[in-house]
Chains A and B, each alone.
Chain A
Amino acid sequence: MNSASSKPRIHLAQGLSIGYGESLARIDGEGCGILLEGGTHYLLARNGRGKTTLLKTLAGVLKPLGGDFECKGRCQYLSEDLTFDRELPARAILKALLNKAKLDDALELAEAIELDVEKPYGKLSTGNKRKVALLVAEFSVCDEDLDVLLLDEPFTGLDTFSREAFQKRWDQCQDGVLRLVSCHPDFDSMKLTSSVLITDGEIKHISTDAGDQSWGELKPQLN
C-alpha cells in the first residue's frame, strides 16, 4: 500500500479497523474517511488506544483488521523502541544510514541540540538516543521523493529545548514531507494545526484551517 507519487498522502478509508485480533480503533461515521497531506499532523490518544498500532498499520508492518488505507510516498516508521548498535558512536550510525549530502546538515543539528556524536550509542542517555533516531529519520528524507514520516512518541525523554528545535524545523521546512507524530503534549498551550484523535475506539481528524487549536482545548475530547 506504499507507493511513490508526486505528493505524499495518507488516506484512511471509512471502515478501516486496526488492532491485534480484536479491533482497537476504527473509522466510523459517514464521509470519505480521513485525508492527510504534507505537513505535520499530531496523533493523540490516551495510553493503549492504538496510536502505535495505527502507525504500524500505515507503515505496512501490521495488517489492518478490516477496511482499507492508502499511504502514498516513501514511508519511514520510527518506532518508540528503535535502538542502534550500542558500540557505535552516533556519528558512525548517521554516516551509515544517511547519504553524504545530508550528513553535514545532520551533524550540524546534532551539535545544535547538544548531542555528543562521538560517544558510543549505548552510553547515551534516553533523550540523546531519541535524538539519534530522530536525526536518522529527519535526514533520510530525499529531496526528489516525497516522504511520509511516521514518528511514534519521538519526544519521549527529549528535553524541551531539543523538542522545540525539531518542532521549529518542522514548521520552517517547506519540504512537503508528511509527518504523523504520536505524542503526549506536556503543556496546554502547545499549538496543533492538524490532529488525528483516537477516542472511544474511533479515529477522528480535527483540522483547524482558521487558526491553531491548543492541546488544552483538545485534551477533554480524549477518552
Chain B
Amino acid sequence: MIQRKVWIIALVCALLLPCVLPYLTPYETNPTLIEPARAQAAWVCLWVITAAWLFFQAARFGDETSRSGIGAYFLSSGISGLSQMIQIWLACLTFLLPLVGITLGVCFLGAMPSGGSQAQMWVATNLQYAALFLLVVTPLMMVAVSLGSRFGSTVGYLIPLCMSIYGMYGVGYLAMMTEVQSNLLLDWLYVVSPHYHLADLTPRLIFKQGSMLSSEFMQLVVYFAGIKIVLAMFSSLTFQPRAVT
C-alpha cells in the first residue's frame, strides 16, 4: 500500500518533525528557544525533503517521459520538447508549493514572536526566505527533469543534488581556500560558483536578526534570477523527450 506513496512520508515529515525535533534538545535550560528551533527545524526539513525527494521525483519524471514513449507521442502530436519540460516542471511545483506553504504555516502559527514589530519582521523574513528558496530550488528541479530525460534518473538526481550541496556548503570551503592561498583559478571558480548559501536565512530566524533590507534582498533576487535563466537555458537544450536509440 505504501508503494509510491512517499509523498505521505514527506508530508508527515514537514508537519511533524518541526513540532517534535525541538523537544529532543535540552530545551528546559531555556524554553524561549523552542520557537526559533521550531522554525529552524521546519526550514531544514524543507531543504532536506526537496533535495532528497523532490529532485529525485523531477529526475524520474524526465526519465519516464523519454523512456515510456509518451514524450515521442506528444512530440509527434505537436507538443514541443520545451513545452513538455515546462509542464513536467510545473507538475513538480504542485508538490513543492504546498510544502513551502506548510513550512510558512509552521513558522507563522507555531513560532511567531509575540511583539507586534517583531511579528511583522518575522513574517517579512519568512516570506523573503520562501522567495529565495524557490528561486534556488525551482531551476535545479528543471535541471533534474532535463538531465533525467537525457541521462536517466540517477544522473538527473545526483547532479542537482551535488550542485545544491556545493552551493550551500562547498562554496564556503572554497572561500577559505582562496583566503589561504591566492590562486587565479580558485578565485575564478569562486566567482562563477552558485552561492546558494546566500538564500539560507535560517540564522536570521534563529537569532531574530530581522528581515533583509529591500535593496539587499533585491540584489539576491536578481543574482538568483540570473542563475535561474542560465539553468533554464541549459535545461531546455538538454531535455530529450524521446529515448536515444
Residues of chain A whose beta carbon lies under 8 Å from any beta carbon of chain B? 2, 20, 56, 59-61, 74-85, 87, 140, 150
Is the C-beta of B51 less than 8 angstroms from some C-beta in chain A? no
Q: Which listed segment binds A: B64-72, B121-129, B216-224, B229-237?
A: B64-72
- Contact partner of B76 among A20, A80, A84, A150, CB < 8 A? A150
B76-A75 in contact (CB<8A) = yes
Write the B49-68 contact mask toward A (1 if CB under 8 angstroms, else 0): 00000000000000010001
Is the C-beta of B77 less than 8 angstroms from some C-beta in chain A? yes
Write the B4-25 contact mask toward A (1 if CB under 8 angstroms, else 0): 1000000000000000000000
Tell me, rounded to whole Å, the shortest Cβ–Cβ distance linking A133 to chain B.
9
Tell me, rounded to whole Å, the shortest Cβ–Cβ distance linking B139 to chain A.
26
B68-A83 in contact (CB<8A) = yes
A2-B69 in contact (CB<8A) = no
Across-interface contacts of B242 in A (CB, < 8 A): 56, 61
Inter-chain CA distance A84–B70, complex, in Å, is 7
Tell me, rounded to whole Å, the shortest Cβ–Cβ distance linking A186 to chain B.
24
A-B contact pairs, 27 of them (CB 8 A): A56-B72, A56-B242, A59-B75, A59-B76, A60-B75, A60-B76, A61-B75, A61-B242, A74-B78, A75-B76, A75-B77, A76-B73, A76-B76, A77-B73, A77-B77, A78-B73, A80-B69, A81-B69, A82-B73, A83-B68, A83-B69, A83-B70, A84-B68, A84-B70, A85-B64, A87-B4, A140-B77
B76-A61 in contact (CB<8A) = yes
Is the C-beta of B245 less than 8 angstroms from some C-beta in chain A? yes
A2-B72 in contact (CB<8A) = no
- Contact partner of A59 among B4, B68, B72, B245, CB < 8 A? B72
In the complex, how many residues of chain B place their beta carbon closer than 8 angstroms to a beta carbon of chain A? 13
Across-interface contacts of A85 in B (CB, < 8 A): 64
Across-interface contacts of B73 in A (CB, < 8 A): 76-79, 82
For residue A79, which residue of chain B has the nearest CB? B69
A75-B68 in contact (CB<8A) = no
Across-interface contacts of B78 in A (CB, < 8 A): 2, 74-75
Across-interface contacts of B4 in A (CB, < 8 A): 87
B72-A79 in contact (CB<8A) = yes
Inter-chain CA distance A140–B64, complex, in Å, is 22
Tell me, rounded to whole Å, the shortest Cβ–Cβ distance linking B17 to chain A.
27
B245-A20 in contact (CB<8A) = yes
B68-A77 in contact (CB<8A) = no
Tell me, rounded to whole Å, the shortest Cβ–Cβ distance linking B73 to chain A.
6
Across-interface contacts of A61 in B (CB, < 8 A): 72, 75-76, 242
Inter-chain CA distance A84–B76, complex, in Å, is 17
Tell me, rounded to whole Å, the shortest Cβ–Cβ distance linking A52 to chain B.
9
Inter-chain CA distance A78–B212, complex, in Å, is 53
Which residues of B from 70 to 113 have beta carbons under 8 Å from A? 70, 72-73, 75-78
A-B contact sample (5 more), CB < 8 A, given A83-B69, A140-B77, A150-B76:
A59-B72, A77-B73, A81-B69, A84-B70, A87-B4
Of residues A60, A79, A80, A85, which shows the largest number of chain B Cβ atoms within 10 Å of its Cβ?
A: A79
Tell me, rounded to whole Å, the shortest Cβ–Cβ distance linking B173 to chain A.
42
Inter-chain CA distance A85–B60, complex, in Å, is 12
Tell me, rounded to whole Å, the shortest Cβ–Cβ distance linking B240 to chain A.
11
Of residues B4, B64, B75, B77, which shows the largest number of chain A Cβ atoms within 10 Å of its Cβ?
A: B77
For residue A3, which residue of chain B has the nearest CB? B78
Across-interface contacts of B70 in A (CB, < 8 A): 82-84
A82-B76 in contact (CB<8A) = no
